[in-house]
């Protein structure tokens, strides 16, 4: 890791940014530097503007992705390098189109869950649908987060580093019990193949 990257990482950590945001911001600055083939320290406002147009016109990235990249560069120049010569107010963020979510019928949801290739994937889909838990939160669920007495799933340090409890239906609890009997996980509910705790 370069000293500049390490410094930016530390500044993000000091402000309690999530691990995923830190990775995303570091990648954005790296991509920016690679686009021009030089250190971002040597680049300025016109370069950021040109890069923004590149993301929109050539790479055709989604508005939210462009917004994250610009936020990363703003953080890098203002917080990491303490540069005030860059005017980000003149770099408008692209508007994200507002669309209503597509809602599946109960039959479509049941068909989707039943189409899973195995019991593990079917159980994961059931949890995602029944609780609204995020993908990253699902990956970090531990056995002791399933509370059959209170009929809740405890999410620890989810988005925004917040804990929360999600209600669990009897049908989901039974599916979780079937899954446990089949896979016998030890610590994480859905351990990855390289999890040392579950080998």
**Regions of the chain short of the pLDDT cut 50:** 196, 198-199
Please give the pLDDT value at position 1: 64
- Using alpha carbons, list the distances in angstroms from residue 31 to 128, 129, 158, 182: 33, 35, 28, 44
Please give the pLDDT value at position 68: 92
Q: Which domains does the chain have, with CATH numbers?
A: 3-90 (1.10.150.130), 106-192 (1.10.443.10)
> How many whole angstroms separate alpha carbon 194 and alpha carbon 192?
5
Please give the pLDDT value at position 198: 45
Nearest to 80, CA basis, from 35, 31, 133, 22 = 22
Query: Tens digit of pLDDT for each residue in 53-75?
Result: 999 999 999 888 999 999 999 99
Side-chain-side CA neighbours of 33 within 13 Å: the count stands at 16
> How many whole angstroms separate alpha carbon 122 and alpha carbon 106?
16
Whole-structure pTM value: 0.58
Side-chain-side CA neighbours of 196 within 13 Å: the count stands at 0
Nearest to 131, CA basis, from 143, 114, 146 = 146
Please give the pLDDT value at position 194: 53
Please give the pLDDT value at position 199: 44
- DSSP line for 103-168: PPPHHHHHHHHHTSSSHHHHHHHHHHHHH---HHHHHT-BGGGEETTTTEEEEPS-GGG--EEEE-
CA-based diameter of the chain, in Å? Answer: 61
Kindly tell me the sign of the dihedral angle through the C-alpha atoms of 177, 186, 127, 152.
positive
> How many whole angstroms separate alpha carbon 193 and alpha carbon 59?
34
> How many whole angstroms separate alpha carbon 73 and alpha carbon 56?
16
């Amino acid at each position: 890791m370069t000293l500049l990257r390490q410094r930016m990482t530390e500044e993000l950590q000091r402000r309690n940014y999530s691990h995923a945001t830190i990775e995303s911001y570091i990648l954005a600055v790296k991509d920016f530097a690679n686009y021009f083939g030089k250190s971002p320290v040597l680049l300025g406002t016109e370069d950021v503007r040109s890069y923004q147009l590149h993301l929109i016109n050539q790479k055709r990235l989604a508005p939210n992705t462009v917004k994250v990249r610009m936020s990363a560069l703003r953080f890098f120049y203002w917080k990491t390098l303490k540069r005030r010569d860059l005017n980000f107010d003149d770099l408008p963020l692209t508007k994200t189109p507002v669309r209503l979510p597509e809602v599946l019928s109960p039959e479509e949801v049941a068909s989707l869950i039943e189409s899973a290739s195995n019991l593990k994937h079917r159980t994961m889909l059931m949890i995602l649908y029944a609780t609204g838990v995020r993908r990253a939160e699902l990956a970090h669920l531990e056995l002791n987060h399933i509370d059959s007495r209170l009929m809740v799933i405890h999410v620890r340090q989810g988005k925004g580093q917040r804990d929360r409890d999600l209600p669990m239906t009897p049908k989901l609890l039974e599916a979780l019990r079937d899954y446990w009997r089949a896979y016998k996980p030890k610590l994480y509910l859905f351990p990855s193949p390289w999890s040392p705790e579950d080998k």
